[in-house]
Amino acid sequence: MVTQVLLQLAPLFAVLALLLVVTGAIAVMTGRVSVRELLATLLSGGIEDPTKETWPVEAAGPLLTNAELSYFRVLEQVLRHPTDPSGTPQMRVFCKVRLADLVQPKRGLDRSVWQATQNKLDRKHVDFVLVDPSTYVPRLVIELDDASHRRARAQKADAQKDTALAVAGVRLLRAKTLGKYEAEDVAEAIRVAI
């Protein structure tokens, strides 16, 4: 009896399979999905629309913490052109820069060592990077250290960043997180660090 039901449903399954193949082919041809994504969907037993992309994400909120924003505003003030506030700044500031955008694994490393190093760099970022306004070459990295930097895990991550930047010849300034920053103090710390 089950065999008879399956035989009767076979044409329906064939039509459904054909529709799935045609839909997938159209999605691939229009560039809405890659062949690899289509095959992964089919092989995983998924019957979802392969053109519908969903990510389990949500907005992360402000890019900077309150302390970082306060420091950033003072940095912008300090870096303005000394005689012409509307002129080219002495340096430009970028925030939340990946460590991998500043340093890279050495050439000639074994592939697995290179990849392991790159993975570590990809997962870390620095708070601020000051760059030359004409060449955009990094001049100084600034890290704000709050109470969380006293934890052993954070200290280990900080030491890795410090070492990577030092080996690559990128200067680093570590500043303590404060409730308020004075422009003169920030400017002096930058002058000393550079």
| pLDDT, tens only, 131-169 | 999 999 999 999 999 888 888 888 999 999 999 999 999
The string of pLDDT tens digits covering residues 166-180 is 999 999 999 999 989
Residue 37 has what pLDDT? 72
Average pLDDT over residues 73-77: 93
Residue 6 has what pLDDT? 56
Q: Is 93 exposed, middle or buried (0-12, 13-18, 19+ CB in 10 A)?
A: middle
Q: Where are the alpha helices (DSSP H) in 30-151?
A: 35-43, 66-79, 111-122
Cα separation of 50 and 53, whole Å?
8
Residue 99 has what pLDDT? 96
Cα separation of 174 and 165, whole Å?
12
Cα separation of 173 and 144, whole Å?
9
C-alpha distances (whole Å) from 119 to each of 41, 68, 99, 104, 125 are 27, 26, 11, 10, 12
Quote the mean pLDDT of the chain.
85
What's this model's pTM, rounded to 2 decimal places? 0.68
The number of CA neighbours under 13 Å toward the Cβ of 67 is 12
Average pLDDT over residues 122-137: 95
Residue 88 has what pLDDT? 74
Cα separation of 43 and 61, whole Å?
37
Residues of the chain with pLDDT > 90: what percent? 59
